[in-house]
Amino acid sequence: MPLLIFAVTGMGGIGKTALAVEAAYRAHGKGWFPGGTLFVDLRGYDEDPVTADQAVVALLDALGVRDRDLPTTPERQHDTYRALLAERRDRMLLILDNASDPSQYLPLLPGTDHHRVLITSRNRPDALAIRLIDLETLAPDDSVALVTRALHATDERDERPVREPEALRALTDSCGHLPLALQIAAGMLRRRRHRDIASLVAEVKQADDATAVLDHGSPGTDLYGRSLVLRPVLETSYRRLSADQSRLLRLLCLAPDAETGTAAVVALAGLETDVVLALLEDLAAAHLVASAPSAAGSAADLRWRMHDLVRAFGAGVVARDAELREEGEAARERVVRFYIGRTYAASRLLSVPQGDQGPFTDRAQAVAWLDEERAALVAAVQWAREEQFADTAALLADCLASYLNWRRHFDDAISVAKAAGEAAHRAGDRHREAGVLNNLGIALSQAGRAEEAIAAHTRARDLFQDIGDRGEEAGSWGNIGNALDGAGRAKKAIAAHTRARDLFQDIGDRRQEAWAWNNLGVALRRAGRTKKAIEAHNRAIKLFHAVEDGLGVANALGCLGNAQLRQGDADKAINAHTSARILFQVAGHRHNEAAEWGNIGNALERAGRVEEAIEAHGKSLEIFQELEDWYGQGVTLDHLAVAHKNVQQPARARSAFLQAADAFTHANAPTEAARSRACAAEQWSARTRHS
């Protein structure tokens, strides 16, 4: 049986009516509906919506039934309407526009499957089996094209879109790619034709709510006589919500990011999960939020996204009411505390991938959750700049640091550390400020900003000195040494690590003394003082054994192997790295185990055992793939490529270099990716020469 009813649904301003009318014109042009088109605006979101009884009178009038021919009662009017449609041989299209409730359109459906019906609504109609067409916002390129066409339609000499492509994209982003907002923005640009696009972008960015700027400059009405204003569209949708639905919408507008997981929404709302899910589904049916599956859990762990203009509107509603502001602050406090608990549990699984970690069944699930919530977590830390969240958001920053550096999101790591540091400084918490400065220095160092890293660690050291915390002061000296090493300042790095070692010796912290010896060994090796480096690593191993720190022993053995390989003793290096790998494997430290497989591969290759080296690198790659560590994959693939190159296998070497480039691209490491691509091109030339 052919489909009788279609429904175009989407949020207010998405372009439902425009699409329906355009479809009707095109269908008429193709002769699909020789009986014509009936259109009625049900004004479902106005204060006084059109009822089915009112609509049927308008439909009968369009069918030629009016004045004395019009039946006197609603029942007879509906009967006449259905009879006329049943009698019509020529197929018709009936457009029931802007419906908000099934009671508006159910009585208007034809009593025959000969005709077709197109309903538009902000709510998904579920009273009948209807083919739904959900409209989404425009793609960024389409948004740019819409505004450009609108300007050129008025004046084809308007060169602003060509002259200011970045400003135009920024404007369409500010409009959330919503067609109604884009139309308004285009109208404003037409009116201010002697001003550049950047001036409008600046006005929108300066406003807390973009709708205020756009509505203030709205050019009036569209082709259908409808007002081109945003806020009334959002207000009418908001007013139709129940008290519980509107409360959840307001709180969701206060979430740190536009996209939020179910568990975080539950924390915001302070309600049971099943209650929150039901409310979220209601909001999704009204196209005020959109759902997407989560990679981090079950079907209940959906992701919920809100349009930027809806978020701005809801936040504005809260800002204007003292009671709602108080309710909102409590919700934000709940969600920050939720994020702290989840992030702490997830970050522990990055370093200790075994054991019970609350909501996460394994490391992969924890990483998936961190990846999905990263934007929200980073945004929540920025709340540390507000006095009431200074402590909680700064604690969240501590929980996030290791993950952001591991995933190489260095810009986020730096932003998070700066926000937490500013909060600690304002609160006069010098100990926390110094700790955050160390986190900042580590992120800066890994981002290649060595001098800034040295400055951050030096400020941390000075604060710890003033406080009188000699242990933390020693740790900062070690961090300064690492940053100096990264800057290529070997002598100063050795001096800093020596200072750290001496301080740990003075206070009797043997475990940290062992780490200082190990760091000193790394700096000595990089300075070319290999014999001294080996002595330092052996000293570290003895100390780690003395304090029964097996993981410390494994780390020191790995560093010892690197020094031995640098000295030219490949066999000793293989033994050291193998011992380290076994210790990491027993402890369940898969990441370090993978790294040691790679080190074994490098040592085997130096010993001339290339096939064994390729096998070792393959095992390293398998683990990094399991851990979804893209940077580790890139490094290992590079090593594999070199091994293939050394046994005259240019095709395999090229393939491995290209895979390495892809992995480095995923890992936000463009320099390494470019280098790997250049090596791949070199291998292509080598393959051609051998051919």
Q: Distance (Å, rounded) from C-alpha 159 to C-alpha 254? A: 39
393-444 per-position pLDDT tens digit: 888 999 999 899 888 899 999 999 999 999 999 888 899 999 999 999 999 9
Contact, 430 vs 472, CB < 8 A?
no
- In terms of DSSP bridges, do strands 259-261 and 303-305 run parallel, antiparallel, or are they unpaired? antiparallel
Radius of gyration over every alpha carbon of the chain, rounded to an integer in angstroms: 33
DSSP 442-458: HHHHHTT-HHHHHHHHH
Q: Sheet harboring 5-9: ordered strands across?
A: 37-41, 93-99, 116-121, 5-9, 131-134
Alpha helices in 42-100 (DSSP H): 52-62, 74-87
Residue found by looking up tokens 């390495």 in the block: 660
State the DSSP code for 139. P
State the DSSP code for 8. E
Closest CA to 475 of 460, 494, 486, 491: 460
Q: What pLDDT sits at residue 688?
A: 45
Specify burial of residue 422 (Cβ count, 10 A radius: 0-12, 13-18, 19+): middle
- Measured at the CA of 368, the angle between CA 367 and CA 374, to 5 degrees, comes to 85
Q: Distance (Å, rounded) from C-alpha 193 to C-alpha 270? A: 49
Specify burial of residue 612 (Cβ count, 10 A radius: 0-12, 13-18, 19+): middle
506-562 per-position pLDDT tens digit: 999 999 999 999 999 999 999 999 999 999 999 999 999 999 999 999 999 999 999
pLDDT tier for residue 219 given thresholds of 50, 70 and 90:
low
Residue 312 backbone zone (phi > 0: left; psi -120 to 50: alpha; other: beta): alpha
Question: Using a CB cutoff of 8 Å and minimum separation of 24, what contacts does 351-354 make?
Answer: 351/402, 351/589, 352/588, 352/589, 353/588, 353/589, 353/590, 354/588
Residue ranges of domains in the chain, CATH in brackets: 5-134 (3.40.50.300), 140-231 (no CATH)
453-496 per-position pLDDT tens digit: 999 999 999 999 999 999 999 999 999 999 999 888 999 999 99
pLDDT of residue 4 exceeding 90, the answer is no
Calculate the average pLDDT of the chain: 90
Q: Report helix, strand or coil for 305.
A: strand
Q: Compute how many other C-beta atoms are within 10 angstroms of the C-beta atom of residue 244.
A: 15
Q: Distance (Å, rounded) from C-alpha 305 to C-alpha 206? A: 24
H or E element in which residue 30 lies: none
